Amino acid sequence: MHRMNRLALLALPLALAAPAMAQEAEPVTPASIVEAAAPEEWVAIAPEDLLVMDLAPDAAGRARQVVIQLMPAPFSQPWVENVRKLARAHWWDGTSVYRVVDNWVAQWGDVSEEKPLPEGTLATTGLPYASRPSRLNRPLIEEYLGNAYEGITDHRIAWLDGYADWPRTGHYADMEMWIDGWPIAADKNGEGVWPIHCYAHVGVARDLAPDTGTGAELYAVIGHAPRQLDRNIAVVGRVISGIEHLSTLRRGTGEAGVYEYRAEDTPIVSVRLGSELPEAPQFEYLSTEGESFARYVESRANRNDAFYTVPAGGVDVCNVQVPVRAAAR
Amino acid sequence: MHRMNRLALLALPLALAAPAMAQEAEPVTPASIVEAAAPEEWVAIAPEDLLVMDLAPDAAGRARQVVIQLMPAPFSQPWVENVRKLARAHWWDGTSVYRVVDNWVAQWGDVSEEKPLPEGTLATTGLPYASRPSRLNRPLIEEYLGNAYEGITDHRIAWLDGYADWPRTGHYADMEMWIDGWPIAADKNGEGVWPIHCYAHVGVARDLAPDTGTGAELYAVIGHAPRQLDRNIAVVGRVISGIEHLSTLRRGTGEAGVYEYRAEDTPIVSVRLGSELPEAPQFEYLSTEGESFARYVESRANRNDAFYTVPAGGVDVCNVQVPVRAAAR
């Protein structure tokens, strides 16, 4: 077989992956598990949870649309509310992507920092980044958070510190899991849960603490997950389509990776909530509470298709991307 | 302070970071530790360990040079030797970057797969990716690998499974550490050590096992560290300058992210060993055996400068980039 194609098997975004083969002899892969998931395991993303950002076309005239899924309650909700307000006010129209740093972030908003925020923008200074698990209303999660972290065998809720056989401890939290389609971290005593910075996740740029940013200046991660930002910045969403329109932008050469000249900025034509658009793109994610997702995580941690000779036996939470796909209209 | 600048503090490549302030009041940061390192802690990279790849200029006529540091012994040496042979034969001249996948890799070589390899190219089929620690000739490492993993306090050699207070276990190995400037993983029984896939690391594309690739088709990681490839692919180096010339390339839309049309490829003008070039760029890395590096790792795991309110208390090995800088000629 062509050697590019083999390496490529790993690389294909799930939505583009070849259909799983029907033959029993075919090895189980993350892609084949996702492909075989029952229709009812896919969860539609509500239009008001989608942020649709149209950048100016590229030099060759090609459209550049970036779609962001917003973080659900109880995580980062004051900032998410501000993001919805800013979108409804069409505040980002005419602003730009003005800062791009390799292996770090692409950042957008009002580079002049002079544009007034919409009336009703929530004050966020000093707000905490972690939430109380009691707000989750998720019996399963609460049970785990409340017990002694022993005997966990459900791979959807894992990375326990020294007790679980698999997978093993994270560096940035005592516990990592998925809730409502999102990777979430928690501390050992169950006092707090918080969203994670992974590739393509979107956060709120800010000044020094206790400032936490309003949500007007946003960034998307375009490199290795900067987990040190967890609990230090509000994570409000993730790019689910079009991240390449941000990750391929020329890196800024000015201070801190801000473009030196405004002509280098990438203009933002419009940012809209999906609920504002008559023809909004539709997406769905694979439920992280279902059996297919549990199998998917286990497969990600123990690749046994023909390309792999040594399964890792564990997996970084940011290497388990929650499957998201365009939904039939 | 300008909010962009604060987020940016985290982002600055070390070589571009502002000099550490002399005032005692300034917080210690990873950048200030590196800045304060003694000159003798910097290790020159030998010219024969540098691979200098000149891509064709970009659409605006700007030069695009990518510099790769090759992996030292005992890691991946048959492939590294092949890479040196291919460079000396000028084998890559006229080949191209033909495959780019977002959050995955940029891959280059001979897309036709018809170009004959130089005489003397080593057969690598079936060779192991891990090395025996006994080949390391490093008493310090051998001592750690040989003991019961208890009581480790040296942060340069850490990530021990359940014993060390800090940092905590990795997902992909029992132990992670740095040797001769490189992140390295090891298994619990000390039987093997192997190089790691982090952002910008360079590996050898291959067909299905037992094929291991020759080194003619290479890729650089341009996304979150694909650690599941560790021990499944030979890691032969890392991009130490110019990774942005690969990470910003348009993503391929053909099968597996290969460009659909050869006109989309980025031509490779030349690839040379530093030792072949009269005016080779010179680089040095911060010794991973010195005190400054130990402090740097600890600082990366416990950011306490003004931007951070919650230090992580641990750090992913791929978030501890070994400082590399251009050396004075």
Closest CA–CA distance from residue A233 to any residue of chain B (Å): 9
Residue B4 in this model has a pLDDT that exceeds 70:
no
Are A207 and B250 a contacting pair at CB < 8 A?
Answer: no
How confident is residue A182, by pLDDT bands cut at 50, 70 and 90? very high
Higher pLDDT, A91 or A300: A91
Cβ of B248 within 8 Å of Cβ of A251? The answer is yes
CA–CA min distance B279, chain A (Å): 25
What is the mean predicted confidence (pLDDT) over A285-290? 89
Closest CA to A1 of B189, B205, B207: B207
What proportion of chain B, given as a percentage, has pLDDT over 70? 78
3-class secondary structure for chain B? CCHHHHHHHHHCCHHHCCCCCCCCCCCCCHHHHHHHCCHHHEEECCHHHEEEEEECCCCCCCCEEEEEEECCCCCCHHHHHHHHHHHHCCCCCCCEEEEECCCCEEEEECCCCCCCCCCCCCCCCCCCCCECHHHCCCHHHHHHHHCCCCCCCCCCEECCCCCCCCCCCCCCCCEEEEECCEEEEECCCCCCEEECCCCCEEEECCCCCCCCCCCCCEEEECCCCCHHHCCCCCEEEEEEECCHHHHCCCCCCCHHHECCCHHHCEEEEEEEEHHHCCCCCCEEEECCCCHHHHHHHHHHHCCCCCCCCCCCCCCCHHHCCCCEEECCC
pLDDT of residue B150: 39
From A153-157, B184-188, B272-276, the region with the lowest mean pLDDT: A153-157
Q: Is pLDDT above 70 for A140? A: no
Q: Is B11:A256 a contact under the CB 8 Å cutoff? A: yes
Task: Give the three-state DSSP class for A107.
Answer: strand
The residue in chain A having the minimum alpha-carbon distance to the alpha carbon of residue B210 is A309
A262 sits in the region (left: phi over 0; alpha: psi -120 to 50; else beta) called: alpha
Alpha-carbon dihedral sign for residues A286, A221, A175, A315: positive
User: What CA–CA distance (Å, rounded) separates A146 from A140?
Assistant: 10
Point out the least confidently predicted range of A162-166, B36-40, B52-56.
Answer: A162-166
Instruction: Give me the residue from A99, A162, A207 closest to B6, CB to CB.
Output: A207
Residue percentage of chain B with pLDDT more than 90:
58
Of B205, B224, B314, the CB nearest to A172: B314
**Mean pLDDT throughout B204-219?**
95
Residue A149 has pLDDT above 50, yes or no: no
List all residues 6 or more positions away from B249 whose beta carbon is below 8 Å from its beta carbon: A248, B97, B100, B106, B266
For residue range B215-266, list pLDDT tens digits in order.
999 999 999 999 999 999 999 999 999 999 999 999 999 999 999 999 999 9
Give the SS3 label for residue A24.
Answer: coil
3-class DSSP state of A34: helix
In this predicted model, what pLDDT tens digit does every residue of B52-111 receive, in sequence order?
Answer: 999 999 999 999 999 999 999 889 999 999 999 999 999 999 999 999 999 999 999 999
pLDDT confidence of A173, banded at 50, 70, 90? confident
A279 compared with B170, residue with greater pLDDT: A279
Judged by CB atoms closer than 8 Å, whether chains meet at A10 and B229 is answered as yes
pLDDT exceeds 80 at position A29: yes
User: Residue B133 — pLDDT band, cuts 50, 70, 90?
Assistant: low
The residue written with tokens 């707090």 in the block is: A192
pLDDT in tens, A56-84: 999 999 999 999 999 998 899 999 999 99
Taking Cα atoms as reference points, which of B243, B262, B258 lies closest to residue B53? Answer: B243
pLDDT at A130: 85
Among the partner-chain residues A5, A13, A228, the one whose CB lies closest to the CB of B319 is A228
B230:A308 CB<8 A: no
Name the E strands within chain A: 42-44, 50-55, 64-70, 96-100, 105-109, 157-158, 175-179, 182-186, 193-195, 201-204, 218-221, 235-241, 266-273, 283-286, 324-326
Residues in B touching A232 (Cβ below 8 Å): 307-310
Q: Residue A192's pLDDT is what?
A: 73
pLDDT at site B185: 83
Give A1 to chain B, closest Cα distance, Å: 7
So what's the pLDDT on residue A191? 59
Cβ–Cβ gap B247/A103 under 8 Å? yes
Q: Mean pLDDT throughout A227-241?
A: 95
Q: Region A38-60: what's the mean pLDDT?
A: 97
pLDDT band, very low/low/confident/very high, at B147 (cuts 50, 70, 90): very low
Q: What is the mean pLDDT of residues A223-235?
A: 95
Mutation target vs A (from B9, B103, B262; most A CBs, 10 A cutoff): B103
ipTM: 0.87
Model confidence pLDDT, tens digit, residues B173-195: 767 778 889 988 876 555 678 89
- By C-alpha distance, the chain A residue nearest B213 is A3
Which one of A1, A2, A4, A175 makes the best mutation probe of the B interface by having the most chain B beta carbons within 10 Å?
Answer: A4
Mean pLDDT of A304-322: 84
pLDDT for B291 beyond 90: no
Question: Is A136's pLDDT higher than 60?
Answer: no
Closest approach of chain A CAs to the CA of B314, in angstroms?
5
With CB atoms and an 8 Å threshold, state whether A99 touches B8.
yes
Indicate whether A176 pLDDT > 70: yes
Alpha-carbon distance A221 to nearest alpha carbon in chain B (angstroms): 10
> In 3D, which of A115, A56, A320 has the Cα closest to residue A198?
A320
Three-point CA angle A295, A320, A45, nearest 5°: 90
Confidence bin at B137 (pLDDT 50/70/90): very low
More confident residue, A82 or B137: A82
Q: What is the pLDDT of residue A62?
A: 97
Q: Which range (A11-15, A194-198, A272-276, B206-210) has the least confidence?
A: A11-15
Higher pLDDT, A202 or A136: A202
